[in-house]
C-alpha cells in the first residue's frame, strides 16, 4: 500500500491511498470460493456450481463489498502509518477501482492540533476562599423567614418593605410594547427589581390610587429597542400589604427539618447548609478562574468540524432549556449556530488542553472519588438516595460525573504548580448577589 499526504490547510490533510490489485483480487477469490461451497444455483447441486459460474453471477457484488471494506481498513492503516489523528469524518473523493488496476482514493479530513501548553508555573491564578460568619448566618435566617412570610393588607400609605398588588400598562411614544402590561403584579418596595424610579414612584401610594409614572429605560436595558427611551406607566394600586415574618419558634424550625435542639440547632443547620453551598461554589469559581487562565494563556488552531459540532450541541441544549420553561422553539432557526461559535471555541480549546494535561501527566480518578462527588451533589436534594440511584442507573450520567471528577484532579494538579493568590469572598459575593440581603 502506498500513502502520500498533502497539507491543504493548517489542520486539513488530503491523503492519497493506493492499494494493489493483488490484495483485492485475493480477497474476492476467497469469498467467491466460500460462496461456491454454500450457494444454491439453479441447475447445479448445492456447492457443486463451477467457480466461473459463481464468479460471473456474484463477482461484481463481491468486489464492491471487498472494496468498501478495504477502503475502511486501509484508511485507518494509513492514519497509523502517518501518525495522523483525524478530528472529522473523511470526505472520500470518487474512487478508481477498475478491475485489474487495484484501488486508488483520496481522503480529505481535519486533524487534531498539537497542544504546546504554556508553562503552568507561570500561570497567575485566584483561588476563592469563603468563611461563613455569624452575620452571614443571621442574614440567611432572615431570608428564610422572608421566604415563609405572609401578607397582611393595610390601609396606610405604602412604605419600603411593603408588597403592592398592581395593574400597570406602559407605553413608549404613545404606543404599547411587548411585556409592558400586567395585572395583579406583585412588587416589593425597596427590592430594586424594576427599572429606576418605578418603586420610588409607588412609595406613599394607597390602595385604590391611580398613578402615572414618567420614567426612562436604562441605557443598558436588555431589550435594545427600548434601551434609553422615555416610558409612561399607568398604574392602579389594588392593595398594599405589609410582610408578616414567622417567629423563630418550633413551628419554623420543624418546617426546616429541625425537630430537636431549638434555635441553636436551627442556626447550626443553616450554617451547615451554607458551608456546603459555599464549598461547591468555591470549587466552581476556582475551577472557572483556572479554565479562564488556561484559555487566555493557550491559543490553539482549532478544527472547524469540532467547533461546528460543539456549537450545534450548545444550540440543542439552549433549545431544550427553552422548551423546559414552556417556550415555543418552533420559530428558532434550527441550524443557525453562529451565536454559539465563541462559546464553542472556548469549550473545544479547554477540552484539548485538559486532555493533553491528563495524557501527558497520567492524571487519573477512581470510583471512590466519583462516588463521593455524586453523594455531595445528592445532599442538596430532598431525597439524596433517589438522586444517587438516578446517577448510578445511567452510564452516560456516570460518565459526566467521571469527567467532572477528572477535571477536579486537573484543577488540583494546576493549583499545586501555578502562582496562586487567595480571593477572599463573603458568602453573598460568592453566591448569587443578594442571596442574603
Confidence (pLDDT) at 329: 67
Domain count for the chain: 3
Same domain, 126 and 156: no
Write down the residue that cell numbers 451554607 correspond to: 274
Same domain, 417 and 301: yes
Same domain, 157 and 198: yes
Domain membership flag for residue 185: yes
Q: Give residue-wise pLDDT tens across range 311-350.
A: 988 888 888 777 777 777 676 665 677 888 999 999 999 9
DSSP secondary structure string, 384-434? HHHHHHHHHT-HHHHHHHHHHHHHHHHHHHHHTTSEEEEEE--HHHHSSTT
Angle (CA) 100-104-108 rounded to 5° is 165
Confidence (pLDDT) at 335: 63
Same domain, 323 and 417: yes
Same domain, 291 and 396: yes
Burial code (b: 16+ CB inside 10 Å, e: under 16) for 201-238 equals bbeebebebeeebebebeeeeeeeebeeeebebebebe
**What is the number of residues in the chain?**
437
Same domain, 240 and 264: no
CATH code of the domain containing 64: 3.30.70.1050
Same domain, 295 and 400: yes
Same domain, 240 and 174: yes
Q: Give residue-wise pLDDT tens across range 364-400.
A: 988 899 999 899 888 878 888 998 999 999 888 898 8
Nearest to 189 by CA among 222, 151, 223: 151
Same domain, 97 and 78: yes
Query: What is the pTM for the complete model shown?
Result: 0.70
- Phi, psi (5° rounding) for residue 149? -70, 165
Neighbours of 308 (CB within 10 A): 16
Check if the beta carbon of residue 250 is closer than 8 Å to that of residue 266. no
Confidence (pLDDT) at 333: 60
- The DSSP output letter for 86 is B
Confidence (pLDDT) at 432: 65
| Neighbouring C-alpha atoms within 13 Å toward the C-beta of 419 | 5
Mean pLDDT by 10 residues, the chain (437 residues): 93 94 89 81 74 83 90 94 93 80 90 93 92 94 91 94 95 91 94 92 95 94 90 96 92 88 92 91 91 93 92 85 74 71 93 93 91 87 88 88 90 93 91 58
Same domain, 167 and 286: no
Same domain, 214 and 265: no
Confidence (pLDDT) at 241: 96
The last residue of one of the domains, among 197, 221, 244, is: 244
Domain containing 192: what range? 150-244
Cα–Cα distance for residue pair 207/124, rounded to 1 Å? 57
Amino acid at each position: 500500500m502506498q500513502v502520500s499526504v498533502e497539507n491543504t490547510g493548517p489542520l486539513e490533510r488530503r491523503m492519497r491511498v493506493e492499494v494493489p490489485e493483488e490484495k483485492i483480487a485475493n480477497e474476492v477469490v476467497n469469498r467467491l470460493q466460500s460462496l461456491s461451497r454454500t450457494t444454491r444455483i439453479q441447475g447445479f447441486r448445492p456447492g457443486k456450481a463451477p467457480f466461473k459460474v459463481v464468479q460471473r453471477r456474484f463477482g461484481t457484488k463481491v468486489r464492491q463489498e471487498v472494496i468498501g471494506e478495504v477502503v475502511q481498513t486501509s484508511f485507518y492503516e494509513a492514519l497509523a502509518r502517518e501518525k495522523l489523528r483525524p478530528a472529522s469524518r473523511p470526505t472520500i473523493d470518487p474512487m478508481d477501482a477498475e478491475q485489474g488496476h487495484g484501488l486508488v482514493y483520496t481522503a480529505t479530513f481535519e486533524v487534531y492540533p498539537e497542544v504546546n501548553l504554556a508553562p503552568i508555573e507561570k500561570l497567575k491564578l485566584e483561588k476563592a476562599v469563603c468563611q461563613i460568619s455569624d452575620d452571614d448566618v443571621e442574614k440567611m435566617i432572615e431570608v428564610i423567614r422572608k421566604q415563609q412570610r405572609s401578607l397582611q393588607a393595610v390601609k396606610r400609605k405604602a412604605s419600603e418593605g411593603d408588597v403592592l398588588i398592581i395593574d400597570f400598562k406602559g407605553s413608549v411614544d404613545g404606543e404599547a410594547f411587548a411585556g409592558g402590561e400586567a395585572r395583579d403584579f406583585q412588587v416589593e418596595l425597596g427590592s430594586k427589581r424594576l427599572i429606576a424610579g418605578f418603586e420610588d414612584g409607588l412609595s406613599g401610594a394607597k390602595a385604590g390610587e391611580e398613578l402615572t409614572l414618567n420614567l426612562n429605560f436604562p441605557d443598558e436595558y436588555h431589550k435594545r429597542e427600548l434601551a434609553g427611551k422615555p416610558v409612561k406607566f399607568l398604574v392602579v394600586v389594588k392593595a398594599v400589604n405589609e410582610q408578616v415574618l414567622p417567629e423563630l419558634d418550633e413551628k419554623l424550625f420543624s418546617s426546616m427539618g429541625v425537630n430537636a435542639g431549638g434555635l441553636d440547632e436551627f442556626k447550626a443547620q443553616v450554617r451547615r447548609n451554607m458551608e456546603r453551598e459555599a464549598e461547591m461554589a468555591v470549587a466552581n469559581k476556582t475551577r472557572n478562574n483556572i479554565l479562564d487562565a488556561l484559555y487566555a494563556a493557550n491559543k490553539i488552531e482549532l478544527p472547524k468540524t469540532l467547533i461546528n459540532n460543539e456549537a450545534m450541541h450548545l444550540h440543542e441544549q439552549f433549545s431544550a432549556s427553552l422548551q423546559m420553561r414552556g417556550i415555543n422553539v418552533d420559530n428558532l432557526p434550527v441550524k443557525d449556530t453562529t451565536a454559539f461559535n465563541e462559546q464553542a471555541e472556548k469549550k473545544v480549546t479547554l477540552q484539548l488542553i485538559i486532555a493533553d494535561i491528563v495524557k501527558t501527566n497520567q492524571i487519573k480518578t477512581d470510583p471512590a472519588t466519583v462516588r463521593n462527588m455524586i453523594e455531595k451533589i445528592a445532599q442538596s436534594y430532598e431525597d439524596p438516595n433517589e438522586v444517587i440511584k438516578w446517577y448510578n442507573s445511567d452510564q452516560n450520567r456516570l460518565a459526566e460525573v467521571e469527567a467532572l471528577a477528572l477535571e477536579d484532579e486537573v484543577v488540583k494538579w494546576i493549583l499545586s504548580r501555578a502562582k496562586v493568590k487567595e480571593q477572599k469572598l463573603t458568602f453573598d459575593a460568592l453566591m448569587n448577589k443578594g442571596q442574603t440581603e
